[in-house]
Amino acid sequence: MTPDSQHPFFRPLWRRVAVVAACLFWAALEFAAGASAWGITALALAAYAVWQFFFRYVPPQEPDNKE
């Protein structure tokens, strides 16, 4: 069983970037609204997403179709 961050859904780079961008956007909104605790939480989620999607990510292997 693979971790959720290794799911084939996240194979395209743009999807991993979009998740990180969404977290950063959420953090910016929270800081702009004056909710610093939620802003810090969203930044922590963005940092975790960067760690999982760019430093630890290993794309799923393609099956060998040798016929």
What is this structure's pTM?
0.80
List, run by run, the mean pLDDT of 10-residue segments along the chain (67 residues): 73 93 97 97 96 83 67
Position 58 scores a pLDDT of 74
Position 1 scores a pLDDT of 47
Look at residues 50, 43, 49, 14 and name the one whose alpha carbon lies nearest to residue 27: 43
Position 4 scores a pLDDT of 77
